[in-house]
Amino acid sequence: MASTDPRVDAYIDKKAAFARPILTHLRAAVHRACPDVEETLRWSMPSFSYKGQILCQMAAFKAHAAFGFWRSREVTGNDRSEDGMGEFGKLTSLADLPENAALEAMIRKAAALIDSGTKAPRPFKHPKPELVMPGDFGAALAANGAAQAAYDDFPPSARRDYLEWVTEAKRPETRAVRIAQAVEWIAEGKRRNWKYEKC
């Protein structure tokens, strides 16, 4: 095997008897399918890089091993397994792995994605639910036309910053002070963290 790292040998040697053949098999498959791969340890587990990008990783724990592609959804069409890290779930024997041809095809596909130069898609972030306007804060804004107009023009994230700041106050006195301060700043068109924004 080219571009091997003795730390990966040491990692495999220290693992439980059930895990060593799994890790050795996976390592060999990665090198066969992608001869230019380079090994290292990342986050204390064996990691395989190709052209400077992470291709895949493997690890072993007390009762199972795991293997995963960095761009798992693009390689397998699925998200990571629900019952363990990686694409194949909790590996306890070689029988838990796909056939060699299928495994190596996935590794080649992962390398081809890197060769293509395309960026990994960003995970979709679900928008945070809109926070409910508390009555006391809403009344204070409504009593100040400039503050209400500015608040209505703020983007959702800026409105959320103020709502969270007001509703996180633990004591009524603190909440009242925050509402008064918020109305003053909002009337001036200032966002919650205006002091830290670039001029």
The pLDDT mean for the chain works out to 88
User: Which helix H or strand E contains 101, and what residues bound it?
Assistant: helix 100-116
Report the sign of the C-alpha dihedral through residues 41, 46, 47, 48, in that order.
positive
Q: What is the pLDDT of residue 135?
A: 93
For residue 71, what are the CA distances in angstroms to 32, 57, 102, 109? 19, 11, 17, 10
Q: Is the pLDDT of residue 187 over 60?
A: yes
DSSP, collapsed to helix, strand or coil, labels residue 2 as coil
Q: Is the pLDDT of residue 82 over 70?
A: no
Most confident of 48-57, 84-93, 123-132: 48-57
pLDDT tier, 124 (very low <50, low <70, confident <90, very high otherwise): low
Residue with tokens 């081809």: 112
Q: Is the pLDDT of residue 1 over 90?
A: no
8 A C-beta contact, residue 79 and residue 73: yes
- Tell me the pTM: 0.59
Q: What is the pLDDT of residue 71?
A: 83
- Non-local (6+) Cβ contacts of 152 within 8 A are none
Q: How many CB atoms lie within 10 A of CB 69?
A: 22
Q: Is the pLDDT of residue 140 over 90?
A: yes
Q: In terms of pLDDT, which residue wins out, 74 or 95? A: 95
pLDDT tens-place string over residues 34-44:
999 999 999 89
